[in-house]
Copies of this chain bind each other. A is one copy, B any other.
Amino acid sequence: MYSQAEENYLKCIYALEMEHGEEVSTNLIASKIKTKASSVTDMLKKLSTKDLVAYKKYQGVKLTERGRETALRVVRKHRLWECFLVQKLDFKWDEVHEIAEQLEHIESDLLIDKLDAFLRFPKTDPHGDPIPDKHGRMIISETVKVLDMKIGSSGILTGVRDSSGPFLKYLNKKNLALGDKIKVIDIEPYDQSVHIETRTHRLVISNNVAENLYLRNVK
């Protein structure tokens, strides 16, 4: 139906809309997709004629309804394949992204629905991101950033903002995983670094790391 390049652009625009809201700029897309702005302009024109995005010169771009549906189908495939890799093939959560980037372009509705069933209809992927169902609906859980937690309160680690390999490997090394209960002991006013405690250990995380951890509040 759509080429891999087209699907990658749609997914990228979708992600940027989620993160930044409203219209997405050419340069933002270019940097995320690691390509040149001129290439982005070319593609936006093409997606526009296919009614996947609303694009007006110099005005940024927005997904149309059709574009959003298509993007969500790709996201669904990406996240389901990540679940498969981790749950069935014993990959680690930091190893699956590149492979899922390839698998997300396999075209077969039947395949993806059967895979969904095989995995028992997971609601989130190995990084805590929600998996759209076949109608594009997903459960977006309420999360709190570490820095917005009251000191002394606890939360369950449910998601990461940055799911790049290096960050996930850092969490592995520090023995932090999704589902862990984390208590915020103290926030250093000087540099906003955070002293936290898990069931097994205590550690200090930088402000940067704290910004990338999402917690679900617990009693």
Contact = CB atoms under 8 A, between A and B. Distances in A.
Interface string A84-121: 01001111000100110011001110110011001000
Given A90-B114, A99-B106, A102-B107, 6 more contacts: A89-B111, A89-B114, A89-B115, A91-B114, A102-B106, A106-B106
Contact of A118 (B88, B106, B114): B88
Identify whether the interface residues of A are mostly helix, strand, loop, or mixed: helix
A99 B85 contact: no
A111 B99 contact: yes
Interface of A: 85, 88-91, 95, 98-99, 102-103, 106-108, 110-111, 114-115, 118
Contact of A106 (B95, B103, B115): B103
A99 B118 CA distance: 17
Nearest to A98: B108
A95 B114 CA distance: 13
Contacts of A107: 102
A11 to B, nearest CB: 18
A111 B111 CA distance: 18
A115 to B, nearest CB: 7
A183 to B, nearest CB: 36
Contacts of A90: 114
A118 B91 CA distance: 12
Contacts of A106: 99, 102-103, 106
Nearest to A89: B114
